[in-house]
Amino acid sequence: METITQKYPLVENFIGGKFTSNGQEKMDVISPLDGAVLSTVPLSTAKDLRKAVKKAKEVYPAWSAMTIKERVQILYKYRELVLQNLEELAQLVHEENGKTLGEARAEVAKSVELTEFACSLPQMVSGQIMEVSQGVECRVERKPLGVVACIAPFNFPHMVPHWTVPNALALGNCVILKPSEVVPLSAVRMAEMLQEAGLPDGVFSVVNGGKEIVEAICDVKGIEAVSFVGSTKVAKIVYKRATSNLKRCVALGGAKNHLLVLPDAHVDMTAANVVASMAGCAGQRCMAAAAMVAVGEVDHIIEKMIDEAKKLIVGENLGAVISAAAKKRIERYITQAEKAGAKVLVDGRKATVPNKKGGFYVGATIIDHVTPKMKIAKEEVFGPVISIIRADDLDQAIEIENSSNYGNAAAVFTQNGGLARYVMEKASAGMIGVNIGVPVPREPFSFGGWNESKFGVGDITGESSIEFWTQLKKTTTKWNPEAWTNWMS
Ligand code: NAD
């Protein structure tokens, strides 16, 4: 539905270096901060996707024939543009996603770091050569895959596309981005800035939409690899569908991250870190603390956490959640837990911001005496809510952590190195923190969880992603006559 009150121009697809719209069905883009209509986004069809694939295939031979050193020159320029426009990009993330401006600035700064990693790829993909028998050489080179697609979620509109797009481009692929339809504005600026940096038309495209376009990406001929970041439910669908169509796929899913807090943990630091982890970005991070396993007597830390949570004021240092439906879902989890016998120590239900009545806010919430069988202990809430589960000892705490279907992150808070080491060894998660509430491995280390938090081989960022976006070409040569009768002849 077209709206006349929107703040930003109509979002269009970016295909062949041009913004185009084809009269597709449209959806309003709503700011979670106050419910205002920011823009409208097209819900594209397979036909739109096929156009982007066709354009990408046309330019792929020239793009992939450039050297990687030439390709990353464009990314160096792009990085400069992102830095120069950081404030504007952060404002956009703030408005379309609802996180605080400070969090949005940190998100865009992380996109810069991810682009820097892509710029460093020429130093990491130099290939190999060896004389394997007299006069016979084997050489191994990394080659791009062709046209690839990246599907993103709503919670990091700028950063998650930067997990994949710069690396895939630097390595010589043409990329089609499908942003979340609820936060499509950052991707528009990404396309504009890549073009301004000198990226040839058609090498990068943006195709907007929801389920239909994701399914088309999994099905269409000509897309060789698909990266997905989103909920586990959809990650499973995408992984199965893309691989059944013989595409390479890595699909990152949801999370339920457990922080194990031991009685000897540093009180102030632990309380501040646990609350920051559960409430940062309004709890809408796949690395957010969702469950705190209280090992033995840690009430002194919980008391401090209550003080920390009360310092968070919605609309000031605690952002909005993405939609009215998300607010309702989060509050429902809290109410269900309370009914099931848990004790709400800090209650974020009914939070409102006086001058932003149309916004979607949930206050920081701490719930104690949650049991592992409760719905809130098992499912992803994706809001500023932490469930405290009591454990008698460390082995029971590890058992609780291990029983989760997810496995993105886990952390331990203690001052005992031996116990920390034990948790590092036993936790069933891909990213482990010791006295760190959000243990994101920064570049060049890779990002990716275990269990139902990730499907596919390898991680989505860092060195691990090089394998995903490339294939190896092995060439064996001989030029000298004395090797003509070699057993390989
Ligand atoms: P989502 O799964 O609803 O959507 C992700 C993408 O899939 C979007 O582009 C959306 O348009 C598309 N989509 C939605 N439903 C679909 C369907 N039925 N079929 C095909 N495509 C569909 O996720 P979201 O709500 O945008 O993001 C939040 C989720 O993402 C959380 O579960 C969070 O934990 C997860 N996440 C995970 C990571 C990670 O690294 N593991 C990072 C960020 C977010």
pLDDT the model gives residue 486: 58
How far is ligand 1, taken at its centre, from the CA of residue 150, in Å?
Answer: 12
pLDDT the model gives residue 484: 63
Residue among 260, 252, 298 nearest 277 (CA): 260
Strand 431-434 and strand 454-455: the pairing is unpaired
DSSP string, 303-325: HHHHHHHHT--BTTTB---S-HH
How far is ligand 1, taken at its centre, from the CA of residue 472, in Å?
Answer: 31
Of the residues 119, 150, 281, 286, only one is catalytic, namely 286
For residue 151, the ligand 1 atom closest to its alpha carbon is: 9
Longest dimension (CA), the chain: 86
Any ligand 1 atom below 6 A from CB of 154: yes
pLDDT the model gives residue 487: 59
Contacts of 478 (CB under 8 A, 6+ apart): 135, 136, 137, 484, 486, 488
Separation of alpha carbons 176 and 152, rounded Å? 11
Residue among 401, 420, 406 nearest 448 (CA): 406
Any ligand 1 atom below 6 A from CB of 449: yes
Any ligand 1 atom below 6 A from CB of 229: yes
**What pLDDT, in 10s, does the model give residues 424-446?**
999 999 999 999 999 999 999 99
**Which residue from 41, 231, 252 has its CB within 8 A of the most atoms of ligand 1, so it is best to mutate?**
231
Any ligand 1 atom below 6 A from CB of 218: no
Query: Which residue's CA is the nearest one to ligand 1's atom 20?
Result: 211
Any ligand 1 atom below 6 A from CB of 408: yes
Q: Where are the alpha helices (DSSP H) in 174-314?
A: 185-196, 211-219, 232-244, 267-279, 299-310
Beta strands in 392-435 (DSSP E): 409-413, 431-434
Q: Report the SS3 class of residue 357.
A: coil
Domains of the chain (ranges, CATH numbers):
13-254+448-473 (3.40.605.10), 257-405+409-434 (3.40.309.10)
For residue 232, the ligand 1 atom closest to its alpha carbon is: 32
How far is ligand 1, taken at its centre, from the CA of residue 394, in Å?
Answer: 33
Per the listing, tokens 């010791």 go with 434
Q: Phi and psi (nearest 5°) for 16?
A: 60, 30
Separation of alpha carbons 331 and 339, rounded Å? 12
Residue among 51, 92, 2, 38 nearest 206 (CA): 51
Q: Tens digit of pLDDT per residue, the chain (489 long)?
A: 444 568 999 999 999 999 998 777 999 999 999 999 999 999 999 999 999 999 999 999 999 999 999 999 999 999 999 999 999 999 999 999 999 999 999 999 999 999 999 999 999 999 899 999 888 899 999 999 999 999 999 999 999 999 999 999 999 999 999 999 999 999 999 999 999 999 999 999 999 999 999 999 999 999 999 999 999 999 999 999 999 999 999 999 999 999 999 999 999 999 999 999 999 999 999 999 999 999 999 999 999 999 999 999 999 999 999 999 999 999 999 999 999 999 999 999 999 999 999 999 999 999 999 999 999 999 999 999 999 999 999 999 999 999 999 999 999 999 999 999 999 999 999 999 999 999 999 999 999 999 999 999 999 999 999 999 999 999 999 887 766 665 555
Q: Phi and psi (nearest 5°) for 27?
A: -135, 145
- pTM value is 0.97
Strands lying side by side in the sheet with 470-478: 128-133, 136-144, 470-478
* Known catalytic membership, residue 174: no
Separation of alpha carbons 49 and 216, rounded Å? 7
